[in-house]
């Protein structure tokens, strides 16, 4: 919470306390309002976190061992652990999507083996189609790395269309 927000909350609490005159004696507009004039304010202030010596604006908040709010040290692109330490984030591996790839292999009704340009990762992301119909892995074909092997009667004939969608 910023200092400006805390100040605004204190002003609002003070205004509420002034309006509820049944617990306080009437005040002059020239009297300075004290924290003790507002019922329960000191107790509320005692339990709220305070800015620590390492407080930073525009930083990830970290609670120091005394309960004060500090800022995590590091660069804007760093990752912050739950203990408040920061380190350069590990690069995220990019995921690539392939849609409609035609596997390499001879369509002749006898060749059961075809090869993809990449190894699907995860392997379950592979969706294989024969003449527009989606095939079922382990029933219609087997996949090992980038190699697809058709089972039994599903071997593609000349003129058939094979396509694959997958991630890698």
| 3-class SS of residue 44 | helix
Q: Rounded CA gap, 128 and 142, in Å?
A: 10
Residues 146 and 158 placed together within one structural domain of the fold = yes
List the chain pLDDT tens, one digit each, 168 residues: 666 556 556 656 566 655 554 455 566 666 788 888 889 899 888 888 888 888 888 788 888 888 888 888 888 888 888 788 888 887 766 789 999 999 999 999 999 999 999 999 999 999 999 999 999 999 999 999 999 999 988 899 999 999 999 999
Residue carrying structure tokens 């330490």: 85
Residues 38 and 63 placed together within one structural domain of the fold = no
Residues 30 and 59 placed together within one structural domain of the fold = no
pLDDT at 88: 85
pLDDT at 131: 96
Rounded to two decimals, the pTM is 0.47
Residues 78 and 105 placed together within one structural domain of the fold = no
pLDDT at 48: 81
Nearest to 54 by CA among 73, 81, 82: 73
- Beta-carbon contacts of residue 116 (< 8 Å; ≥ 6 apart): 98, 101, 103, 104, 126, 146, 147, 148, 164, 166
In the listed set 67, 92, 117, which residue is the last one of a domain according to the structure? 92
Residues 67 and 78 placed together within one structural domain of the fold = yes
Nearest to 156 by CA among 135, 137, 138, 127: 135
Q: Rounded CA gap, 150 and 133, in Å?
A: 14
Residue carrying structure tokens 């004939």: 157
pLDDT at 152: 82
Residues 29 and 73 placed together within one structural domain of the fold = no
pLDDT at 137: 95
pLDDT at 65: 84
Domain hosting residue 158, numbered range: 97-167
- The total number of structural domains that make up the chain: 3
pLDDT at 114: 98
Instruction: Judge whether 104 and 114 are in contact, CB under 8 Å.
Output: yes
Residues 127 and 86 placed together within one structural domain of the fold = no
Residues 79 and 127 placed together within one structural domain of the fold = no
Residues 139 and 163 placed together within one structural domain of the fold = yes
Residues 43 and 56 placed together within one structural domain of the fold = no
In the listed set 31, 48, 65, which residue is the last one of a domain according to the structure? 48
Residues 74 and 129 placed together within one structural domain of the fold = no
Residues 62 and 87 placed together within one structural domain of the fold = yes
């Amino acid at each position: 919470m910023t200092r400006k927000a805390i100040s605004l909350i204190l002003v609002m609490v003070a205004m509420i306390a002034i309006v509820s005159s049944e617990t306080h004696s009437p005040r002059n507009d020239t009297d300075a309002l004290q924290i003790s004039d507002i019922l329960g304010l000191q107790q509320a202030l005692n339990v709220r976190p305070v800015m620590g010596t390492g407080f930073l604006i525009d930083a990830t908040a970290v609670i120091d061992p005394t309960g004060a709010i500090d800022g995590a040290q590091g660069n804007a692109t760093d990752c912050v652990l739950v203990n408040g330490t920061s380190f350069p984030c590990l690069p995220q591996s990019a995921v690539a999507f392939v849609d409609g790839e035609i596997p390499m292999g001879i369509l002749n009704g006898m060749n059961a083996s075809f090869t993809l340009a990449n190894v699907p990762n995860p392997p379950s992301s592979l969706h294989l189609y024969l003449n527009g119909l989606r095939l079922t892995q382990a029933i219609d074909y087997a996949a090992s790395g980038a190699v697809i092997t058709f089972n039994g009667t599903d071997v593609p004939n000349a003129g058939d269309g094979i396509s694959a969608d997958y991630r890698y």
